Amino acid sequence: MPQSAHPDSHFTRKMPKKQGKVTLKKLWTAVQNTRLATLSPEEIREHLLHHAFLWIENTESDRFQSPDDALPEELGKRLRGFLFPESPTPLRKQLEQLALLSEAFHPSPKAHGVFYTPPDLVQWIVDRCFEYVSPSEFIRFCVYDPACGSGLFLWAAYEKLKALHPNANEAQCRYWQEHLLGTDIDHSALEVARFGLRQLWRRDYPLTPLP
C-alpha cells in the first residue's frame, strides 16, 4: 500500500472537457459561496475529500446520513453529482473522479509537480507495461510507483492483474494488494490512493479483512 493562495489555474489546466453533470469549475464556484471559502486551500481540499470518502464508502447504504459537519446543501449536491456522474456509477469511475478532485484542489500543483493523467492514458500505459511481463511472473508480482499521486496507476494495475487472472483466489489477490506500492510527497493524495485500493478490495471481498 502507498506510504506515507487558491489556484484558479487548477481549472485552466488541460483536463477532459466533460466531467459528468458537474464540472470542476462549478464545484469551485459552489465552494466560494459557502463558509469553506474562508478556509485555506489545503483545508478546503481535505474537507471535500473527507465527505467524498464517506459518500463513496456508503454509496449503496440506504441508511447513510451525512455527518454533523455536513457540507452546505448546494455544495453537497454538486460534490455528489461530480463523484457519481452516472446512475449507477461504477466504483472505478467513482475513484477516478475522486482522484481528479484531489489533484484539481491541490493548493500548489505546479510547485509540487502535480500533473493530471487521464484514466484512459493510465490504462493504456498499464496495458503496455504488462505486455513485457511473462504471465508466469504475475504470481509473485510487485508494482512500485515512486510518484503515485492519487493512485490511478496502482488501481489500474490491480484491475489489470484481476482481468488477466479471473480465477485468482483471495490469497493471490491479497498478495497483489500488499505489493502495490507507492510513495509521494502529497499526504492527502496518498490517502486517496490507499482509500481506492481499500474500496477495490471491499468490492471484491466484502466479508474479509483488508490487506
- The per-residue pLDDT for range 168-190, each reduced to its tens digit, is 999 999 999 999 999 999 999 99
Res 73: pLDDT = 85
Res 9: pLDDT = 42
User: What's the whole-model pTM score?
Assistant: 0.85
φ, ψ of residue 3 to 5 degrees: the values are -100, 160
Average confidence score pLDDT of the chain: 85
Q: Write 170-175 long-range contacts (CB < 8 A, 24+).
A: 170/205, 170/208, 172/139, 173/201, 173/204, 173/205, 174/211, 175/140
Q: Write the CB contacts of 106 (distance below 8 Å, at least 6 apart in sequence).
A: 7, 10, 45, 112, 114, 186, 188, 189
- Residues lower than pLDDT 50 in the chain: 4-20, 68
Distance CA 57, CA 53 (A): 6
CA quadruple 173, 174, 176, 179: dihedral, nearest 10: 180
Res 5: pLDDT = 38
Q: Does the CA dihedral 66-69-73-78 come out positive or negative?
A: negative
